[in-house]
Amino acid sequence: MNPLAGRVVEDVEIRGNPTVPTSIILNVMRTTRGARYDPATVQEDYHRIFELKKFANVEAQVQPTSTGGVVVVFVVTEQKLIKKITWHGNKGVETSALETASDLKVGQAIDTFRISLAKQAVLNTYREKNYPFARVDVPTGPLTERGEVTFDIVEGPKVWVRNIRFLGAVHVTAEDLRAQIKSAIWIPVFNPGRYDSDQVDEDIAAIRRYYEDHGYFDVRVGRKLVFSPDQSELQIDFVINEGIRYVVDRVEFTGNSRLSDVQLRQDLSLTPGRYYDVETRERDVKQIVKDYSPFGFIYVVPLPQVRIDEDYLRIEPQRVVLQQPGRVELLYRIHEGKPFRLGRIIVNGNPKSQDKLVRREFRDFVPGSLYNSAAVDEAVDRLRAAPFFSSVNATPQGDDPNVRNLVVNVTEQRTASFNVGAGISSNGGISGNIVYQQRNFDIANIPDDWREILSDKSFTGAGQGFRVSFSPGTIYSSADIQFSEPWLFDQPYQFIEDLYLRDAIREAYTDRRYGNTITFGRYLDYQNAVKISLRTEQVDIRDVQDPKFRAEQILEQEGTHPLTSVALTYQRDTTNPGPVTYKGTTTTVGVEAFGALGGDYHFQRFAGGWSGYQTVHTDLLDRRTVLYNRLNGGFITGNSVFFERWYGGDIGSVRGFRFRGISPREGRGSDPIGGDFYFTDSTELSFPIYQNSFRGVLFTDFGDVESNVHFGVIRTGVGAGVRFTLPFLGPAPIAIYFGYPLVRGHGDETQLISFSFGFNQ
């Protein structure tokens, strides 16, 4: 405690400033005459005076007075000031840009360190603008004699990187290596193609790390720069000697007592005989964590300079290169720590969203039960896949020797959107799209003031869904209002209400519907759910063309008819979350009873579907080639109606055929009237072309639609296509397929190209 603190400041003096006005110094200070002396404030004043950039030294002194007060004295040492700044030789870069970069101004003190920083900043500006050979000099003569800072610049040529090659790369593709480096070829607008020697050195290190991570421990990487005669164009050659790729000879464990070596080995992927790979090794670390998790051991992903609790599980993989060429031993050093029990679950970072959005993903976590790290990771993955948060992290915290709380830190993201867009598809024609959607709706969060309605806090926070859409189109149009509550009464029950108007122009008539569907669902666990849906509609079959050519069934149903149904559905989903589905299955089984709530039609529709995903190859960038199979089928009993039957063809059915191009037909116009029995099967091989956003597809589809339960002509189509997403056009993929019908039935309509393209803005 400073004994002078709290005394009255009787005077503030500035000494040693013959040229800088005292008023300028006093103006930045907080210590004033008549105030109480505060050492912290004086220290802050010291920094404020120094930041004026006019003094070589500042010293603060406090002198007690005979009257019980103090005098605060700042002794300053003035530097010579910059009187002029001039620029010579800059032709390719404007002076204003260099002045901004240098951050020097007339009137500042001449500080050699500050001028050195300014010189480097100017040099960096030139490098950013593709002048890698630029030189900047500040002569000392004008500076010491006249206080003039002169930047003498020799710009040199502007250099464009025209080509990048990877010489000697045999087992790794140029595309994979290009993804590791930051140097890039010049592309107008999209990429400046800047040459930076420091960046090339970093690229060499990145390529070397990439090879080493995939088992090429003896790799050597160099570079060769090939300039054009005028040095304005450059080709960068990364010269690579890959060496051999090391194979895992054996996998060993040390430090494990709770689980045996046999138990730990049984689910590993990086096993003897396989090439060493860091990403596979890290997946195996997660598997080991999963093996330990039921016993209460806590695992925290190690981060640089972050101390891990000594009582937590640690897994340290180490590679040991053996004397035998190309062989490596993988050793997992395990520190088991001790088991813990779970305390409280604490949620942070959600001022708008209710805690229950997080807690319901941890609903199986019971305080007092053993801590389960694998289950925590799975819950975090589910939260990251939800639309509410941009980041989610869960950390064990606490000082109790046997209990740890689980702190879940989240960062909220924008969940409301208003999109205006358009799209085109082979089965829906051209359409517009106006959508307002709130994915974190709260119907009970009513604002106190009407002016708060448009704020990001009203009607938000409960995880409900609300969507209003209007989609006018040339073939298909719709308007829709939907509300969903995924956790009714905070229980694992789902409620959805959907009010809609749909208008579809068919082959020879218009199908217009307006109605309401109410759905109640029950989550059985994280993978299984059942739901019941109640549908009431008014169906209007209108604008029938050329009645004498139409099927009798179409003519009989012309006009408006009430339709109701009750549907019961079971669904099981074990697929992975994320943009690319690469494992797991989805199974759906359902029955829909038409006329159960009244109406003009009484029949039953049974349907089922199964989809399976399997990774058949993973490349060095962890991009997966996926084998996908989809099987759907169903049948109808009773007196069905043509506008509720099944049709086949196009995307989602048998490609190579038009939408509704596979169907039983009637009438002089050979009208498709749908079938009471159908099945389709699609097998796809999806592989990456560029990253995971641009994928190729090879497929074979087959299926049938019949008027009753029997197999007729099995239509078959084969082909290829591409699917890709463009972030600025929205999350929906753009798909183009080329399908060729190998087997067709009488009256089928074929189609070579199927496509779906939509965007929002």
Cα–Cα distance, 579 to 624 (Å, whole number) = 12
Please state the three-class secondary structure of 273-338 as a single string. Answer: CCECCHHHHHHHHHHHHHHHHHHCECECCCCCCCCCCCCCEEEEEEEEECCCCCEEEEEEEEECCC
Would you call 600 helix, strand, or coil by DSSP? coil
Cβ neighbours of 314 (radius 10 Å): 17
Half-sphere exposure of 381 (CA within 13 A, CB side): 11
Q: State residue 728's pLDDT score.
A: 47
pLDDT tens for each residue of 634-645:
999 999 999 999
Q: State residue 734's pLDDT score.
A: 80
| 179 secondary structure, DSSP code | T
CA distance readout (Å), 556 to 143, 546, 551, 641: 99, 14, 9, 10
Nearest to 643 by CA among 508, 753, 447, 746: 508
Q: Is 3.40.50.300 the CATH number for 247-335?
A: no
Q: What is the pTM of this model?
A: 0.68
All residues at 6 or more sequence positions from 62 whose CB lies less than 8 Å from its CB, including other chains: 4, 37, 39, 42, 70, 71, 72, 73
Cα–Cα distance, 363 to 369 (Å, whole number) = 13
Length of the chain: 761
At residue 37, φ and ψ (nearest 5 deg) are: -70, 125
Cα–Cα distance, 382 to 151 (Å, whole number) = 57
CA distance readout (Å), 751 to 49, 224, 648, 748: 78, 52, 12, 10
Alpha-carbon torsion, ordered 675, 679, 681, 682, to 10 deg: 30
pLDDT tens for each residue of 707-735:
999 999 999 999 999 987 765 444 456 88
Q: State residue 730's pLDDT score.
A: 47
Q: Is 3.30.565.10 the CATH number for 9-78?
A: no
According to DSSP, the residues that pair with 686 across neighbouring strands are 626, 697
Residue ranges in the chain modelled with pLDDT below 50: 728-731, 758-761
Give 84-154's CATH code, choosing from 3.10.28.10, 3.10.20.310, 3.40.640.10, 3.90.1150.10. Answer: 3.10.20.310
Cα–Cα distance, 477 to 629 (Å, whole number) = 31
Give 160-241's CATH code, choosing from 3.10.20.310, 3.40.50.150, 3.40.50.970, 1.20.1440.130. Answer: 3.10.20.310
Q: State residue 511's pLDDT score.
A: 95
Cβ neighbours of 105 (radius 10 Å): 10
CATH topology of domain 341-412: Ubiquitin-like (UB roll) (3.10.20)
CA distance readout (Å), 69 to 8, 65, 74, 109, 135: 5, 5, 17, 34, 57
pLDDT tens for each residue of 8-60:
999 999 999 988 899 999 999 999 999 999 999 999 999 999 888 888 789 99
Q: State residue 246's pLDDT score.
A: 95
Would you call 663 helix, strand, or coil by DSSP? coil
Q: State residue 349's pLDDT score.
A: 92
Alpha helices, H only, 439-492 = none
* Domain assignments of the chain as residue spans, ordered by start: 9-78, 84-154, 160-241, 247-335, 341-412, 486-760
Q: State residue 759's pLDDT score.
A: 39
Q: For residue 66, count CB atoms less than 10 angstroms from its CB and return exposed for 0-12, middle for 13-18, buried for 19 or more.
A: exposed
Cβ neighbours of 486 (radius 10 Å): 18
Give 486-760's CATH code, choosing from 3.30.1950.10, 2.40.160.50, 3.40.50.1780, 1.20.1250.20. Answer: 2.40.160.50
Assigned token pair, 325: 């060429």
Cβ neighbours of 34 (radius 10 Å): 10
Asked whether this chain's domains 247-335 and 341-412 adopt the same fold, the reply is yes
At residue 624, φ and ψ (nearest 5 deg) are: -105, 140
Question: DSSP secondary structure string, 39-92?
Answer: HHHHHHHHHHHHTTS-EEEEEEEEEE-TTS-EEEEEEEEEPPBP-EEEEES-SS
All residues at 6 or more sequence positions from 451 whose CB lies less than 8 Å from its CB, including other chains: none
Element (H, E) at 177: helix 174-178
**Straight-line distance from the first to the last Cα atom of the chain, in angstroms, rounded to the nearest whole number:** 62
Sequence letter at residue 65? T
Q: State residue 510's pLDDT score.
A: 95
At residue 69, φ and ψ (nearest 5 deg) are: -105, -165
